[in-house]
Amino acid sequence: MLTKTKTRLFLGILIFLLAQFSFSQVRTVKDLDTNWKFQKINQEKAFEVNFDDSKWETVTVPHDWAIYGPFDKEIDKQEVAIVQNGERIPSEKTGRTGSLPHIGTAWYRKKFNITSEEKEKKVLLLFEGAMSEPEVFLNGEKVGEWAYGYSYFYFDVTAFITEGENTLAVKLSNKEFASRWYPGAGLYRKVRVIVKNKESIDQWGTFITTPFISTKEAQINIKTKITGENLTLVTTVFDTDGNQVSSNKTTTIFGEEFEQNLKVNNPKLWSPETPYLYTATTQLFFENQLKDEVSTRFGIRDINYDAQTGFSLNGEVRKFKGVCLHHDLGPLGTAVNKSALRRQLTILKDMGCNAIRSSHNMPSIEQLELCDEMGFMFLAESFDEWAIPKVANGYNRFFEDYAEKDIVNLVHATRNHPSIVMWSSGNEVPDQWGAEGVKRAKWLQELFHREDSTRPVTVGMDQVQATMESGFGALLDVPGLNYRLHLYEEAYEKFPQGFILGSETASTVSSRGIYKFPVEKASMKQYDDFQSSSYDLEYCSWSNVPDDDFVLQDDKPWVIGEFVWTGFDYLGEPTPYDEMWPSRSSYFGINDLAGLPKDRFYLYRSRWNTNDETLHILPHWNWKGREGEITPIFVYTSYDSAELFVNGKSMGVQTKNNETPQNRYRLMWMDVKYEPGTIKVVAFDKQGNKAAEKEIHTAGKPYEIVLNPDRKILKADGKDLSYVEVSVVDKNGISCPTSTNQLKFKVTGAGIYRAACNGDATSLEQFHLPTMKLFSGKLVVLVQATTKTGTIELDVTGEGLKGTSVKIQAKK
């Protein structure tokens, strides 16, 4: 029982703590994520405060309204010639934008509260992406609009805010023929309200650079834009453990900007291998009263591009082992989810990938945060179009009015991410032809330089011959070549930079677990089942197989790396089947739409991952009806040689050699005849000693379902995901690689069923329904945590199969 004295003491401490808490709340950031009202309609009065939205769907933002389908051929059927693919005669294209119902107008409405104290402050409304052409209304008044669906933007809504309840309404319009891939639809990235004092640090107003680095010390330069007069700025730098390593106080302001220089002793440098992050906490004072506070994570690192060494990071010459990524997350659509992004990057990290190109648009903030943390260099791209269109309703409509604003917002919002080592102002823009295009390229590059002088600028060029003649390629900081391997040597000779970047490479096509015979290199090969062979020898009319790029990367020191098209399959662009139905997603991915590795993953891993061994055999060994027929066996391995055995009989030793690009990077036994049983590969080290071995077996009939979650503990935040790989084995536990069983899913407890995906580009099954067929023996189920703690249980059943379940824990 508390005495009066203890009670007074307790109340005194409580009042003190509350005062301190109140004092520290100089800036409030509110995520507007739950309890949005949504409806896909064209309703003129949906912005009004008293508009009746009670019958609208309740959704959580980030949200993609189109991903729930259904898939429909008529949605994006186009009669078009894709010029950048070398087409001249128009033909009917289907599935080009994913065949999902993303076209149309929709409204989002959200109520949020503002206190009387907050009403007297400055209020910003921040959008990190809204697809597309958003018009924003607050309390019945239009506060602004934007054009580009990928851009970050904000409005000062102080004049529109009322004390108490406020009504936010957002109108989004997606036009047909506005994209070359699935763009998504809706408020697919975060929406935030920021409340701060009128004397404050501007939005994205902090710019941190590291102009001098040595092993003993690093100089940290911090420029901070502010609003207000007679202010003092204090910046403190902390290491990753929260220890203070430097501090600076200044009252000197130039224009509307403070500039500080701090020293960090014995700095730990950021790199893909050691992604060390510091935090700069910046505090703004007026007469010793704290007015604003912002914390910014950053890395200490040095980048350099020159003709002598190519690209170097922290003084170490290295090459980009990168992939291009579209912004959709497969069965989740474009709605940003950090655990989904983390899974992607974890898979790529295991492959040995060290760089990401955001194709062909601004990346999400979450993706950049993870690249900072996990160690990926980043090529941040801006546009797929400039003034000349690729599609009728593309960005060309907005270029003149918005390009500068979009670049400024891109740079200001993301420039403190150490992962970003290069900007891209465009991809395969038709403006590569002619003098006007050269002027636009120069203007855009100068915009980037004006806003950030520390990073170079590139463009993904596919019209390389034209850019060599016009001067377009010569003016770029980094000449980026999309494919066109036959022009690398000539471009190197003609461009003055002294190096070439493979800004987009390969475009090899394959379907996970699908193999075609005879095995041969082929361009734009098509089959009756609308699949591509996973022998990884099929490619597009403008592109090539991976090995051709490997030769240039390994033999030409002036080639500074590559960004492979693509790290994961994505919705839309189903080349080489964009004239066939059903086919609604890409075949380019190293991993399929479900995030399951294709064989090609191991080809890249065998070359890129220098820390772990790779030994991978293809194809599978279930070929009933092909007994006695030629069935070549490939091995992707980090070892130089290996011996193959079929049912104990040696097929000989193969050693990598320079006879062809394929022989240089793959071990291939081209004359093996199929007989059921066991394939065994024994790999040898450079001394000829046995170093590793692997077996695959012919499976019997499907018998039992097997579940393998990538994570068994989730955060109970209503967002976290576990990706559960589902496969089928026979009675002996051998995986059944050709199974296509229809499965059903049920989630109970502290989680929900979120989606499923099997990686089949021709599947029209809807991701959010709790049933799906296996494709090549596998699929993935996404289980999402709720805000409750406890056990989540996933049960998977299939007719004629032994069902199973897995338990996952949700914790705070």
Give catalytic residues, as residue numbers: 428, 504
Provide the token pair at 58. Answer: 């309740």
Which is it for the CA torsion 91, 96, 99, 101, positive or negative? Answer: negative
Provide the token pair at 759. Answer: 């990686």
Assess contact for 320 and 563: CB atoms under 8 A. Answer: yes
Q: What is the DSSP string of 25-49?
A: -SEEEEE--SSEEEE-S--TTTTST
Bin 262: left if φ > 0, else alpha if -120 < ψ < 50, else beta.
beta
Query: Which residues have a Cβ under 8 Å from the Cβ of 202 and sit 6 or more positions away?
Result: 225, 226, 227, 256
Q: What is the DSSP string of 151-218?
A: --EEEE-GGG--SEEEEEEEEEEE-TT--SS----B--S-EEEEEE-SSEEEEEEEEEEEEEE-SSEE
Cα–Cα–Cα angle for 465, 467, 472, nearest 5°?
170
- Distance between CA atoms of 230 and 179, rounded to whole angstroms? 49
Which is it for the CA torsion 489, 495, 496, 500, positive or negative? Answer: negative
Provide the token pair at 408. Answer: 């400024």
- Distance between CA atoms of 350 and 174, rounded to whole angstroms? 37
Which is it for the CA torsion 765, 769, 774, 776, positive or negative? Answer: positive
Assess contact for 640 and 656: CB atoms under 8 A. Answer: yes
User: What is the amino acid identity at position 743?
Assistant: L
3-class secondary-structure state, position 71: coil
Q: Is 243 exposed, middle or buried (0-12, 13-18, 19+ CB in 10 A)?
A: exposed
Q: Is 671 exposed, middle or buried (0-12, 13-18, 19+ CB in 10 A)?
A: exposed
Residue 136 C-alpha from the chain's centroid: 27
DSSP state of 384: S
Of the candidates 638, 643, 545, the residue with the CA atom closest to the CA atom of residue 600: 545
Which H, E and C letters describe 476-507, residue by residue? CCEEEEECCHHHHHHHHHHCCCCCEEEEEEEC
Which is it for the CA torsion 681, 682, 683, 686, positive or negative? Answer: negative
Pairs from 654-662 (Cβ < 8 Å, separation ≥ 24): 661/545, 661/547, 661/548, 661/550, 661/551, 662/537, 662/545, 662/547
Assess contact for 78 and 96: CB atoms under 8 A. Answer: yes
User: What is the amino acid identity at position 163?
Assistant: E
Of the candidates 103, 91, 37, 36, the residue with the CA atom closest to the CA atom of residue 66: 103
Beta partners for residue 358, in sequence order: 325
3-class secondary-structure state, position 52: coil
